[in-house]
Structure 1
Amino acid sequence: MPANTALVVSAHSADFVWRAGGAIALHAAKGWEVTVICLSYGERGESAKLWRQPGMTMEKVKAGREAEAKRAAQVLGVHDIQFWDLGDYPINLTNEAFFRLVDVFRAIHPKFMLTHSEKDIYNHDHPAVTAWAQNARITAQAHGHNPHQKVLGAPPVFLFEPHQPEQCDWKPDVLLGIDSVWEKKRAAIECMEGQEHLWEYYTRVALQRGAQAARNSEKKITYGEGYQAVFPHVVETLA
């Protein structure tokens, strides 16, 4: 088992790019093995550009979204990207998939997990995935689940930014500077051709979080990402 692993649970195939691409690229550049699980392709609600093309079918949309996400993952340095095809609007979080995620936790023992905000009035797939993924984390910690396996420790969970945070009761308490990997994130964003209308939006988000990160530190930061921590930070010092 590698020393440093991380897990990103993404409801749809583009979410990990917009919301956590910088964190993924930063850790990958430091040698971390980042696993990304795309539970859905976003084939119904997040592929409008593809559906406007003549002769489009569900299978073509899924194939297109998977190809985009794979290109983005390669740019970011993702170690392993998985597509579980659990449906979209609504996502179908099955019992079988739940224990599959528990198995992933037990297999890679991530040092942290990134996933969605706990509220999102515009996309109920997102908070459903968050509650589900955190339940899987809890099961992976349970000594009575597959007791022959090593139980999961207590990896911190960080919730990435929803599309309209003010409406989702989401407030960042972790600001991550991503200047060193911004070009990678932007390149990954541009891989998501099915949602081209979001490219500039998430560039503006990165600039805003970068400005906040600079304001709250002594560092010169232009681009950033915001996260909300679920659990208290356990530290050795306060400096």
Structure 2
Amino acid sequence: MSRRLLVVGAHSADFVWRAGGAIAAATRAGGVAQVVALSYGERGESGELWKVEGQTVDNVKQSRHAEAEKAASALGAEFVALDFGDYPLEIGEERLGRVVDTVRAFAPDVIVTHTDTDPFNPDHPVAHHAVVRARTLAAGAGVQSGFPTIAPPALFLFEPHQPELCNFTPTTFVDITEVILAKREAMAAMASQVYLQTYYDERAGHRANHARRASGRSEIRYAEAFQRVLPQVVAEL
């Protein structure tokens, strides 16, 4: 069955570091993936680009868009930018409506986004609350409604940079061993944040160690960690 995966980040590179492997695994298995950036991270997440003399916000946005499209392509996904601005990312009623419309139009089986806490990044919790609310509004209350609804997507949080400070407890590991080269290609595309590439490559190795211990599958060399938010409904255990 083709799965529809929607990954929503506060900034245009968030999907690459934290869910790039899961995206590539989904599309390689025949699924469809869309990555949505609420902002480009043009002000607070584009350090290399701001080293250029005479740099402008518009030029940074163009560079970040090109990087994200290239990264998404490497993972087999579509990139969508809502361009809400960053540091601070602010989402009022009109912008929330755009997020709801995006979720409803794609009708994902799974949504992945940020944790509700991040003491080092003011935009990540804002993205979390907007996505959680948008998901609920797009799906409705599970009854006939006066507006179009979608089937309630499963909700996961991807791993933050420092999980122990962000209310993150991994409940799910995705084996990304077979797609690690695609993730590395996507990370390399984000030239404005080269300082994160080594960290997240190493993190995939750390999480593979945890995945091996949890599953006994010795062949897992790289993995990504996620936290399931809502109960899973199954026919049997």
TM-score (norm 1): 0.93
CA distance in 2, matches of 1:43, 1:117: 21
One-letter amino acid of the counterpart of residue 107, structure 1: A
Query: Which residue of the partner structure matches residue 228 of structure 1?
Result: 227
**Runs of 4+, deviation exceeding 6 Å:** 143-146
CA distance in 1, matches of 2:201, 2:147: 46
Gaps of 5+ in 2: none
Q: CA, structure 1 residues 142+169, in 2 after alignment: closer, same or farther (shift >3 Å)?
A: closer
SS at match of 2:73: helix
Query: Which residue of the partner structure matches residue 18 of structure 2?
Result: 19
Instruction: Please list, as runs of the form range in 1=range in 2, the aligned pairs for 1:74-113 lying within 5 A after superposition.
Output: 74-78=73-77, 80-113=78-111
CA distance in 2, matches of 1:9, 1:196: 21
Q: How many aligned positions are there?
A: 235
Gaps of 5+ in 1: none
Query: Which residue of the partner structure matches residue 175 of structure 1?
Result: 173
Deviation at residue 3 of structure 1 after TM alignment: 5.0
Contact 2:2 2:30 in 1 (8 A): no
CA distance in 1, matches of 2:145, 2:32: 25
One-letter amino acid of the counterpart of residue 67, structure 1: A
Deviation at residue 29 of structure 1 after TM alignment: 0.8
Query: Which residue of the partner structure matches residue 48 of structure 2?
Result: 49
CA distance in 1, matches of 2:140, 2:234: 25
Query: Which residue of the partner structure matches residue 162 of structure 1?
Result: 160
Identity fraction in percent: 43
CA distance in 2, matches of 1:3, 1:109: 13
CA distance in 2, matches of 1:107, 1:166: 34
TM-score (norm 2): 0.94
Please, what is the CA RMSD of the aligned residues?
1.7
Query: Which residue of the partner structure matches residue 4 of structure 2?
Result: 5
Contact 1:189 1:199 in 2 (8 A): yes
Q: CA, structure 1 residues 140+48, in 2 after alignment: closer, same or farther (shift >3 Å)?
A: same
Contact 1:139 1:145 in 2 (8 A): no
CA distance in 2, matches of 1:138, 1:8: 16
